[in-house]
């Protein structure tokens, strides 16, 4: 779609209304992407949310021992283990998810 044929972006009452609109809208009807450039945000950090997780003391102690051997914080090791498990689980179809 040429720049002259672009639709005007509507006015939104709030962020929720705008989010709903862009979730369904074809952005190529509102923006001219022919002159777009790739950008990088090197200092952008992913959003993190603290959680409370109850684990047996023996498991925490085992994780702390392993983390100490790897010379890393035990909480970072827990995040690594969780990340690996999630990635592995996403790579195959779980029988209970059918």
Could you tell me if 85 and 51 lie in one domain?
Answer: yes
**pLDDT single digits (tens) 8-29:** 999 999 999 999 999 999 999 9
Could you tell me if 30 and 50 lie in one domain?
Answer: no
**pLDDT single digits (tens) 45-91:** 888 889 999 999 999 999 999 999 999 999 999 999 999 999 888 87
Do residues 19 and 13 make contact, with C-beta atoms less than 8 angstroms apart? no
Could you tell me if 28 and 45 lie in one domain?
Answer: no
Do residues 55 and 82 make contact, with C-beta atoms less than 8 angstroms apart? no
Could you tell me if 44 and 31 lie in one domain?
Answer: no
> Cα separation of 12 and 19, whole Å?
9
Give me the phi and psi of 91, to 5 degrees please.
-80, -10
Could you tell me if 47 and 69 lie in one domain?
Answer: yes
Could you tell me if 98 and 61 lie in one domain?
Answer: yes
Do residues 29 and 1 make contact, with C-beta atoms less than 8 angstroms apart? yes
pTM: 0.50
Could you tell me if 27 and 48 lie in one domain?
Answer: no
Question: Can you give the residue range of the structural domain that contains 65?
Answer: 40-98
């Amino acid at each position: 779609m040429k720049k002259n044929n672009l639709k005007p972006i509507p006015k939104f009452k709030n962020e929720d209304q705008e989010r709903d609109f862009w979730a369904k809208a074809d952005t190529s009807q509102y923006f001219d992407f022919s002159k777009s450039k790739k950008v990088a945000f090197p200092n952008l950090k992913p959003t993190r949310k603290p959680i409370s997780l109850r684990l047996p003391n023996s498991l925490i102690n085992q994780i702390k021992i392993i983390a100490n051997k790897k010379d890393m914080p035990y909480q970072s090791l827990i995040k690594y283990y969780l990340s690996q498990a999630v990635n592995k689980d996403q790579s195959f179809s779980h029988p209970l998810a059918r």
